[in-house]
Amino acid sequence: MSKPVVATTSLAGCFGCHMSLLDIDERILDLIELVEFNKSPIDDIKVFTKQCDIGLIEGGCCNSENVEVLRAFRKQCKILVSLGECAIMGGLPALRNGIPIKECIDEAYLNGPTVSENTEKILPNDDELPMLLDKVYPCHEVVKIDYYLPGCPPRADLIWNALIALVTGDEMELPYEVVKFD
Amino acid sequence: MSEKIKFTIDGKECYAEPGQTILEAALDNGVYIPSLCYLKDVIPAGSCRICNVKVAGRFMTACTTPVAMGMEVENDIPELNELRVSIIEMLFVSGNHFCPACEKSGNCELQALAYKYTMMVPRYPYLFPEKKPDSGNKKLFIDRNRCILCKRCIRAVKDEQGRSLFAFKNRGNELAISLDHELAENISDELAEEAMEICPVGSILKKEKGFQQPIGHRKFDKQAIGSDIKSVIK
Ligand code: SF4
Ligand code: SF4
């Protein structure tokens, strides 16, 4: 039987969730025996080369590219998992949700205390750049998400237990210490 | 000594003093009934509804209902726990709870209840409401994004003359906690500290205090809320 295929991505996240995945330490050796990785920053495969079983999504959706990538993951993966606070509820990027987008951009590129070089008052306007969304959206408000692993980042044991449960089909172990929101 | 009132919680025999509420009596008998707005020795508000129990098929808040002789209280049953989780989820989506950046994280009772019930995600859509914090006081910072409107501060944070430092303003959706800036102008460090303790969440903060205990050493990192209430055999 071929191994289950895992894909991962970081949308509006900080890569902390991916770091936490690496925090499973030497169990990573067991993991690569159990599963095969496809599109993921971990193996640097940039495009899907096959249908995947499990997609791990770090980060919420703050721009049009995030939405596109998330939709592609939904198409390519049988099971999608929101990994971490940002995927689940927008996380720290969503702190901007109460502030009009124009104000955010002006603060970042014109008025912020660290802005010094932008004398021509240029705002990012290249067609290549993804459009910012009005708000940062939790992933499950954009596509259907099957499972949620909270934490900032989710504890390595939580990610490990979830992957093992998904691969074996056994019920997931959820000790009190591993489900935390920070 | 007055006669004790005999009653049961989930079939366990318990005894209450006359006039005691179900919640207080439960604690005395070593039974944990989850709550958020309840504070020991303070007039109950019955506002959060987490302590809802079932008596004779009806829901009632354990913090406001006095025990009656022979009462059969249902507490730790799936139906009630499901309702409690639902309230907790609503509290999470109706505020702005960014736990990773919150001073109260690890010591927060709302978060601790979510942990107790293994809440992985609220079932309701996040509202991201606009709430204005108040940083006008020298010692206190009020972050309304996290306020769950439990009225603990209104009932328990008072000056030497018994005047409340906090009050509600507005109505309905706009209801918000507000600090009386005149009364609180010269608030002592102790009272400011106490106010932060009294708030179950991270809405009342003492300025320049926060993130003092490392992750792993905070109140609810390893121990579930209520797990210190041990069953007593009487
Ligand atoms: S008040 Fe509690 S639930 Fe809200 S952000 Fe802070 S720790 Fe999280
Ligand atoms: S500020 Fe804290 S104590 Fe006061 S009503 Fe809000 S949550 Fe309750």
pLDDT per position as a tens digit, A123-142: 999 999 999 999 999 999 99
A141 and B118: CB-CB below 8 Å? no
Q: Is the pLDDT of residue A148 over 80?
A: yes
Q: What local confidence, expressed as pLDDT, does residue A1 receive? A: 65
HEC string of chain A? CCCCEEEEEECECCCHHHHHHHCCCCHHHHHHHHCEECCECCCCECCCCCCEEEEEEECEEEEHHHHHHHHHHHHHEEEEEEECHHHHHCCHHHHHHHCCHHHHHHHHHHHCCCCCCCCCCCCCCCCCCCCEEEEEECHHHCCCCCEEECCCCCCHHHHHHHHHHHHHCCCCCCCHHHCCCC
Determine contact, residues A132/A163, Cβ cutoff 8 Å: no
Question: How much is the pTM?
Answer: 0.95
Query: With an 8 Å Cβ cutoff, is B98 touching chain A?
Result: yes
Concatenate the DSSP letters of all residues of B173-211 into one string.
Answer: GG-EEEE-TTTTTT--HHHHHHHHHHSSSTTEEETT---
Q: What local confidence, expressed as pLDDT, does residue B232 receive? A: 58
CA distance B205 to B198: 10
Q: Is the pLDDT of residue A68 over 80?
A: yes
> Residues of A with CB below 8 A from B129's CB?
98
Give the fold, CATH level 3, of A5-96+134-179: Rossmann fold (3.40.50)
CA distance B104 to A138: 23
| C-alpha B165 to ligand 2 mean position (Å) | 12
| C-alpha B109 to ligand 1 mean position (Å) | 8
- Taken in order of first residue, the domains within chain B and their CATH numbers are 5-76 (3.10.20.740), 84-206 (3.30.70.20)
State the ligand closest to the CA atom of B144: 2
Average per-residue pLDDT in chain A?
A: 96
Percentage above 90 pLDDT, chain B: 95
Short-list A148, A120, A127, CA closest to A60 = A148
pLDDT per position as a tens digit, A98-117: 999 999 999 999 999 989 88
Count other C-beta atoms under 10 Å from residue A96's C-beta. 19
Q: Whose CA is nearest to atom 3 of ligand 1?
A: B111
B128 and A135: CB-CB below 8 Å? yes
Q: Which residues line ligand 1 (CB under 6 A)?
A: B 97-99, 102, 104-105, 108, 110-111, 146, 201-202
Which of B126, B132, B218 to substitute to test the interface with A, most A CBs within 10 Å? B126
State the ligand closest to the CA atom of B203: 2
Q: What local confidence, expressed as pLDDT, does residue A116 receive? A: 86
Q: How is chain A split into domains, by residue range?
A: 5-96+134-179
Instruction: Flag whether the ipTM exceeds 0.90.
Output: yes
Low-confidence ranges of chain B (pLDDT < 50): 234
Short-list B108, B101, B146, CA closest to B225 = B108
Count other C-beta atoms under 10 Å from residue B203's C-beta. 27
> How many angstroms separate the CA of residue A88 from the nearest CA in chain B?
7
